[in-house]
A and B are shown apart, each in its own frame.
Chain A
């Protein structure tokens, strides 16, 4: 087993000051508020404790579940700049969202898992009418096309999410952080 970390010292960025949302003058709770970029980012911000750079690869995750529970890098996606507010494109009228994420290293074998977590989080949070595209930022991953293709093949995502080990891992990644 490979014992070293893929990315031993990830650069940790400061969290961006939260933009304060304008209070809505509309007090009717049933009225539909459009979903905006910040809201999607806030949803993804809850994605935390992704153990970026651990030696877990998607192919071998089943053997390493125990290792994941001993986090090496308990930073959120925001602190690692894997996802930033600017990497979220959203068009509420067209019910469309695109998230472009940046793996911490070019060969990060966790890219598929991170992308899957992002997709699952959005599937669980957004209205069903939403179309979701998840992409690796261009030029940031060695097997960018392969990762993008797999993350956007809903049949493969559906099959992956019937794997109890993988679901357990995704759920763990989606646990709220304790800050």
Chain B
């Protein structure tokens, strides 16, 4: 069901992503992008058909839920990552920001750190404050990138290293176990039979796809990634746009961190979001967003994450060890990016 809604957005979103600065002829570009999007969709369809044929119990609601919940945090982080990459940047700090948000939250919603008087007020603080803090750290990334012109990979490497340390220092490295069903509903609750976190993911994907397509900010973001000097000359507030995408990426990471701890009933600063930056970047690349910037598809990122997850699920469900699935994932990433190159050429 949720798959259907995402594909609708997919076809709807295609037309909106025109090249910034209008370098290549519009028609050829649109065909190229449609082909690429179609290629990813076909790959996804083939995977689903293959699984229907060979994997037992594939066509069940449970399988759908398992696969979708596996990718939720990756896609939510991937939404922010797509926008950052669209501006020609990259954000390595997402996993550490997830750890910060996840480590901060329990102190608020359990009322241990600050008691708002009422459980729901506490939960409100437990959601808003950690996400805001992650957003502020995102602002720090954006500030380094825009005001100091530090390369994004280095600028965000700082918080990649220090961010997890901050979360660990905050919790002293201890596991915080909690039981807060009202808070954990953000991951474990169901609406219409679909886990609530999947709805959150879809809201993020749809909102970002709409933003890229329909808002001035979305266009400015692609313009900055496509040709920064040209964008600047055209009056795009380059610095502000860059700062903002890193803030958005930080906010997305903050939300993803909350979902992880809600799923686990525990916050472990050592592990939350470990390695998620690479999973998110892989999903973005497989989804068809150009890593050099200027062209982006948020729905593609969702499809990319789905493809990677389904390949892994197919292998695991058919008795292939997890380590071998890693090798398949590597081959898949190379193949997908190579095919996209062929289509552009």
The answer on A and B forming one complex is no
* Partner-A contacts on B (CB < 8 A): none
* Partner-B contacts on A (CB < 8 A): none
